[in-house]
Amino acid sequence: MNILIINGSPRRKGLVSQMLGIMQEEAEQRGDKVQMVCTNDLSIKPCIGCMTCRTKGECVLAEDDSQRVLKMMQEADAIIMGAPCYWGNIPGQMKLLFDRIVYGMMRDTPRFPEPLMKGKKCILVSTCTTPWPWNILFKQTRGVIRALYEICHYSGFKIVATIERGGTAMHPALSEKDKQKCRKAIRKIV
């Protein structure tokens, strides 16, 4: 199986990166081909909102890393997306990526958007400093999951697992339970 991991965290050793790393190791151990993209390493110009991509099926801006990631997504059987909470949402660089490749993820039709990633499985991961259960009640990690869910839903992904981890300031290390959640989630992509 071909799996793409999109890491929206700027912290290489942060909890999101660690959780995604556990999933990568687990998938590679069972023989899957895994690629990881860190959004902060990408060179992407901002969307200009011209909407031309919706009719032409391609972006009018000069080619950059967004098209490379879109191609990787199209070739993948499954996607894992992870992001820390920034103001109850995904980090800007990650949103910038999805803004630029919307034309390759869904197509506008007269009635409803047509999903272009249909049949691909997806796992969503988020962390934040707000302690549990407030991270969910105050829509911190829940806000990140909601934003990623919207992207996945309209693109046609089947979300097979979500992981939300709050309280990272008070508990900066992954527990054995956190690690087990990651291993269990990756097993849902078969």
- Each residue's pLDDT tens digit, 57-70: 899 999 999 999 99
d(C-alpha 16, C-alpha 85), whole Å: 10
**Does residue 127 come out as left (phi exceeding 0), alpha (psi in the -120 to 50 range) or beta?**
beta
pLDDT tens digits, 116-163: 999 999 999 999 999 888 888 888 999 999 999 999 999 999 999 999
Q: Give the mean pLDDT of 72-84.
A: 98
**For 130, which DSSP code?**
S
Banded model confidence at residue 74, pLDDT cuts 50, 70, 90: very high
Q: Give the mean pLDDT of 39-66.
A: 94
**Where is average pLDDT lowest: 41-50, 65-74, 81-90, 130-139?**
130-139
- Residue indicated by tokens 């992207």: 151
